[in-house]
């Protein structure tokens, strides 16, 4: 790789490289970003900061099923158990799950915490 260094007051300020070399450097930088993202994801999994979920769970949510219900069932909780954890009635939770009622942000936060998910995992954006 040929590089032309342009100095300003005796200090290197710019490096000029052939365009083909520049494109090669960009590809390598993108690959490095991908490797670092992979390493971060693996570390988060190993530290319990993230989890893998079955494709069926994601597919159910993408198919329009209520995310609160999908996550509740995935976690193996009944409506009674989850409603007890969030301090609301089972009927209230059932209405949220079947779309007859919108919960408050505080209720959705409590649900997310009880299910061990992020708020954006259960609230449509």
Cα distances (angstroms) measured from residue 33 to each of 22, 38, 47: 17, 9, 21
- Rounded Cα gap, residues 21 and 27, in angstroms: 10
Give the global pTM: 0.70
Place of tokens 């200090």: 11
pLDDT tens-digit profile, the chain (125 residues): 899 999 999 999 999 999 999 999 999 999 999 999 999 999 999 998 889 999 999 999 999 999 999 999 999 999 999 999 999 999 999 999 999 999 999 999 999 999 999 999 999 75
């Amino acid at each position: 790789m040929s590089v032309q260094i342009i100095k300003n007051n005796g200090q290197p300020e710019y490096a000029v490289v052939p365009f083909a070399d520049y494109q090669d450097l960009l590809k390598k930088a993108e690959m490095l970003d991908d490797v670092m993202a992979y390493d971060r994801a693996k570390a988060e999994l190993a530290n319990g900061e993230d989890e893998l979920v079955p494709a069926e769970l994601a597919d159910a949510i993408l198919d329009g099923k209520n995310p609160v219900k999908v996550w509740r069932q995935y976690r193996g909780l009944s409506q009674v158990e989850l409603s007890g954890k969030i301090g609301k009635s089972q009927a209230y939770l059932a209405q949220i799950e079947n779309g007859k009622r919108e919960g408050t942000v505080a209720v959705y936060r409590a649900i997310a915490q009880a299910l061990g998910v992020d708020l954006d995992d259960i609230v449509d954006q």
